[in-house]
Each structure stands twice: as C-alpha cells, then as structure tokens.
Amino acid sequence: MTVMESVPEQADLCATATARHPRPEGQDRYTIGEVVTCTGLTAHTLRWYERIGLMPHVDRSHTGQRRYSNRDLDWLAFVGRLRRTGMPVADMVRYARLLREGEHTVPERQQLLHAHREDVRRKIVELRETLAVLDHKIDCYGDAQRASERA
C-alpha cells in the first residue's frame, strides 16, 4: 500500500492517496488537537516531529495555531508505518529531507527503502521462528495438561 507521502511543499512522484480523511479535500484544516485524536500521536510528538524535520512545514492560522491538512495526515500515516517497522528516526528524517530536496533524490530514497525492507524481512523471519517456538511450547504444555487430566 502506498500512501500520499507529502512532506508539504514537495510531492512524491510515487504517491497515491489511499487514506480516508475526516474531511473532504479542500476542507482539510485540522487543529493539533484534532490530529491528536485522529492519529493517536501526542501533541508533544507532533511538535517534536516539526523540530527534528520530520514534519518540516505545518501551516499556521493568522493567530499562529498549527493547521494540518489531509496531506499531513497521509504523511503521518506513512511515518507511523515506518515507525511500526522499526525504522530509526534518523532514517525517517533523512527520507523526509531527501523528499523535500526533489526528484534528483529518488535513487537515494529508493535505496533507503530497499535497505529498510530487507531489515523488515529479516525481522519477519525471526518473528516467525519465534512464533514457531512459542506454538511448540504451548502445544507441549497442552499435551502435558491433557495427559495429567487423563491420569
């Protein structure tokens, strides 16, 4: 699944919007509180993402309040997926910086994602092996319990 990767100001050539948003396009200005509710992230995390360059440009109202867009929500969803796969924050920030720099960085972005995909695949293999061990142990305990109940 590809989500709209949209570090504001620079669109990703491979991006396609697939997320459903609370508001229709064009009516997509969210306060930080609404984004907290929508994403499950804390306001502190959202502000930190801005400070480190992971969310480098969030629009502001005339009073200075943050106003997030559907594109921002798409980007946060993508970042959330990267976080769940264990991508280091430094790599996410690097990816965001490359995206903002433009199309000439596509090969570097692709390489970064390829390398991370291999890490994820290795983790999946490890998790499957661990799951098999857990399943075996659970089965052994179940067999032992059934045997003791028959005795």
Nearest to 89 by CA among 37, 125, 45: 45
Confidence of residue 43 (pLDDT cuts 50, 70, 90): very high
Computed over every residue of the chain, the mean pLDDT equals 87
Q: Which long-range contacts (CB under 8 A, 24 or more apart) does 63-69 make?
A: 65/31, 65/32, 66/31, 66/32, 67/29, 67/30, 67/31, 68/29, 68/30, 68/31, 68/32, 68/34, 68/35, 69/8, 69/28, 69/29, 69/30
Taking the C-alpha atoms of residue 100 and residue 92, their distance in angstroms, rounded to an integer, is 12
pLDDT in tens, 80-130: 999 999 999 999 999 999 999 999 999 999 999 999 999 999 999 999 999
pLDDT in tens, 128-146: 999 999 999 999 998 888 8
Task: Say which residue, 56 or 4, is predicted with more confidence.
Answer: 56
pLDDT at site 4: 44
